[in-house]
Structure 1
Amino acid sequence: MANKLVIIDTDCGIDDAQAIMMALAAPDVQVLGITCCFGNASVENVCQNVLMVLSICERGKIPVFQGSAGPLVGANKELSDHFGSDGLGDVIEDKDPLWKEKIQREHAVDAMLRLVSENHKQVSLVALGPLTNLALAVRLDPLFPEKLKDLFIMGGNMEGKGNVTLCGEFNFVMDPESAYIVLEEFLCPTHLASWEYSCRNTLTWEFFEELTNQDTPAARFMKKITSKCWAYSKSAMMNKRDVYFGPGFVSYDSYAMAAFIDSSVVTQSIDCAVRVELQGTMCRGMMALDQTNQLKKSHRICVMNKCDLAKFSRLLMDSLKLPLNK
């Protein structure tokens, strides 16, 4: 079976870790490299988190690159504690003191440009955090998007419902300018898993228990990093999400990764132009869908809407069967 080549750009929190493991478990996926950016934690913590995931899965040969430490414009915003201060639930005590030696010397953006140029039109890019590295890549090489096979993004929103501001989703709010640049200038086929898409396609907490109770290194690792994280507390999240979407377990970044691995996971989508709002105090970072063609943009993106939960569940379950011989 021919390998699907992918670069994963991540701000590795718990759900990013799950998405990365999903890619590692897919039999027809070859991860060329993992590029790191700020977001769920500092970029230094993100690098350590990625190395930890790769170590658990016995895939330490995959290169990891350190990238953007802050947004394209303005000062760093306060980091979220959604997944703890370190991004992995603040439960890891024995962190690797030599982690810096395991990070590639090449900057993440340079690595992204090089890997895509070496594999013209063959590489998919899956972006799981703020889009700063991607925006810098297109500024350094305006032809970069043309060299990609396609782009998958977890981020943005469809209906003006925010999870960190009144109208904005976390990844886009952390760097609105970069989100704007990517959705305006990346004219390759683009697929987006929004916050609402993730929350509307939840899984049961009973499934989460079955998922993390598998007797494998990856499952034990996932159980540990979710053990004290309020975002994986059934009672806390039922109360928090009841307002819009009702209760359920959501692995946000895994939805974008699943769409890359198996396009049939997405059973319904909206194809339209989009634009990220950069002005205003309430709507900055919000993504607007142009379903009436008022923007007169030729480029459309695929905004995911409905998900085959049976297929998605299998991909999640398989992701924690790691390590696999590969």
Structure 2
Amino acid sequence: MKPGFFSRITRHCLLGLGLAGACVPALAHAEQADRLVIFDDDGFALAQWMVLKSPHVKVLGFATVSGDFWQKEATAYALRGLEIANKTDVPVVPGATYPLMNSEKLTERWEALYGKLIWKGAWMKKWVEKTNQPLPPYHPADIVPDLPWGNPKLKPSAENAASFMLRMVHQYPGQITIIESGPMTNLALAQKMDPQFASLAKELVYMGGSLNPQQKLNSPAAAQFAREFVNSPRREFNIRFDPEAASIVMHAPWKHILMVPVDPSTETEMSAEFVKDITQSDTPIARIMRKSANNFPLWDEIAAAVWLDPSLIRTSAELYVDVNTAFSAQYGDILSWMEGYQPGLDEQKEKVVLTVDVPRMKALIKELIAQP
């Protein structure tokens, strides 16, 4: 979907009086062809707002899972995010609190054997090295701290995320995209509950995993981020938090899988300059985003953007992908093979995004934030 595409169609229909009759069926068809999507994530921010504000996209719901935050905190962020976007009719459906097998104690045991992890999400008590970032807000799973955006009044759905996603793919077979930008626990539970789950969805788009990221920007934040992958280029948090779930999902019979690994994100940064440029409009989301310059790469935003406009993908590869689930030094690392080299244990072929058109993606984000 090109930025401004639908607004240009509308403008031409209004100005081209002689073609007005011809425009009506096209617009009616576009309205009938809304793209259906469910977002599954361990937080809520710009990527979700991008999808919410995109024309001809219907968000069926937001599922939540533990990862960067505990599930209850992620749920609170999603509820508040919908209030800010004035989309309170979209359900927020709580999902898994804990990974299938991994745990905080197992992670600490792993670190004692194989070295410190840079980021552990909800299990993060302190930074290993000196950093400009504040201390992680470590707390128990059932505690929800006050949110910086204000606390939500909206309440979550009483349904659980796995059941919700199953119900939706049965209701709209072959029509729903699932965008996964957190650990895959909910997806794995849904697949185990009903082996038809993946095959009934239209596609899976996920941000997770890593192949061989390289530093592309010269900022201090980019240099600090790049150090994470110098010695462990295949390790990424979303997959590492629940490797067993990710492996289950990657063996499921999806019609199409689009993987957005860390690799393309090294050309991006949520810098003060970037934030200032994309928030020139005066919308509620723009006002919130003006305070969001954290200098992190645009991980989830890339996944949302390339789903909204696949032409933003500059280079990609077709690979079979899995996850190392052995409790070894490579636990949670991505495994990948070209055609013919995979083990043949139902690994699925994935389209892996390697680079994206960053200027055009920035323009798309800016346009979506400015939507009333």
Q: Normalized against structure 2, the TM-score is what? A: 0.73
| Aligned counterparts of 1:199 and 1:293: Cα–Cα separation in 2 | 30
Residue 301 of structure 1: aligned partner = 350
| Per-residue Cα deviation, 1:161-185 (whole angstroms, up to 9, x for no partner) | 8849934101001101011111112
Residue 27 of structure 1: aligned partner = 55
Q: What secondary structure, in the 3-state scheme, does the structure 1 residue paired with 2:45 have?
A: helix
| Aligned counterparts of 1:120 and 1:301: Cα–Cα separation in 2 | 21
Alignment of 1:34-73 (within 5 A): 34-73=62-101
When residues 130 and 112 of structure 1 are mapped into structure 2, their CA distance, relative to the original with a 3 A threshold, is same
The partner residue of 1:181 within 248, 266, 281 is: 248
The AA in structure 1 aligned to 2:103 is A
When residues 9 and 268 of structure 1 are mapped into structure 2, their CA distance, relative to the original with a 3 A threshold, is same
When residues 94 and 268 of structure 1 are mapped into structure 2, their CA distance, relative to the original with a 3 A threshold, is closer
Residue 250 of structure 1: aligned partner = 297
The AA in structure 2 aligned to 1:129 is G
Q: Considering only aligned residues, what root-mean-square deviation do their CA atoms show, in Å?
A: 2.7
| Aligned counterparts of 1:213 and 1:19: Cα–Cα separation in 2 | 18
Q: What secondary structure, in the 3-state scheme, does the structure 2 residue paired with 1:320 have?
A: helix
| Per-residue Cα deviation, 1:54-112 (whole angstroms, up to 9, x for no partner) | 1111001101100000101132465356795399997617413x55xx11111111000
Residue 146 of structure 1: aligned partner = 199
| Aligned counterparts of 1:284 and 1:112: Cα–Cα separation in 2 | 28
Gaps of 5+ in 1: 234-248
| Per-residue Cα deviation, 1:24-77 (whole angstroms, up to 9, x for no partner) | 111021001110001111111101100111111100110110000010113246
* Bigger Rg, structure 1 or 2: 2
Of the structure 1 ranges 54-63 and 309-318, higher mean CA displacement relative to structure 2 is found in 309-318
The partner residue of 1:263 within 310, 334, 339 is: 310
Alignment of 1:167-206 (within 5 A): 167-201=234-268, 205-206=272-273
CA contact (8 A) 2:268 2:298 kept: no
Identity of aligned residues (%): 28
Q: Normalized against structure 1, the TM-score is what? A: 0.83
| Aligned counterparts of 1:7 and 1:281: Cα–Cα separation in 2 | 34
Residue 95 of structure 1: aligned partner = 151
| Aligned counterparts of 1:220 and 1:92: Cα–Cα separation in 2 | 13
| Aligned counterparts of 1:119 and 1:30: Cα–Cα separation in 2 | 12
CA contact (8 A) 2:324 2:332 kept: yes
Alignment of 1:232-251 (within 5 A): 232-233=294-295, 250-251=297-298
The AA in structure 1 aligned to 2:137 is S
Gaps of 5+ in 2: 1-29, 108-119, 125-132, 214-225
| Per-residue Cα deviation, 1:111-135 (whole angstroms, up to 9, x for no partner) | 0000111000000000010000000
Answer yes or no: is 1:223 the counterpart of 2:290.
yes
Deviation at 1:202, TM superposition (A): 5.0
Q: How many residues align?
A: 297
Residue 4 of structure 2: aligned partner = none
Residue 79 of structure 1: aligned partner = 121
| Aligned counterparts of 1:220 and 1:291: Cα–Cα separation in 2 | 45
Of the structure 1 ranges 22-31 and 203-212, higher mean CA displacement relative to structure 2 is found in 203-212
CA contact (8 A) 1:270 1:305 kept: yes
Residue 158 of structure 1: aligned partner = 211
| Per-residue Cα deviation, 1:218-245 (whole angstroms, up to 9, x for no partner) | 0111223x26xxxx14xxxxxxxxxxxx
Residue 313 of structure 1: aligned partner = 362
CA contact (8 A) 1:24 1:319 kept: no
Residue 236 of structure 1: aligned partner = none
| Aligned counterparts of 2:56 and 2:366: Cα–Cα separation in 1 | 17
CA contact (8 A) 1:201 1:306 kept: no
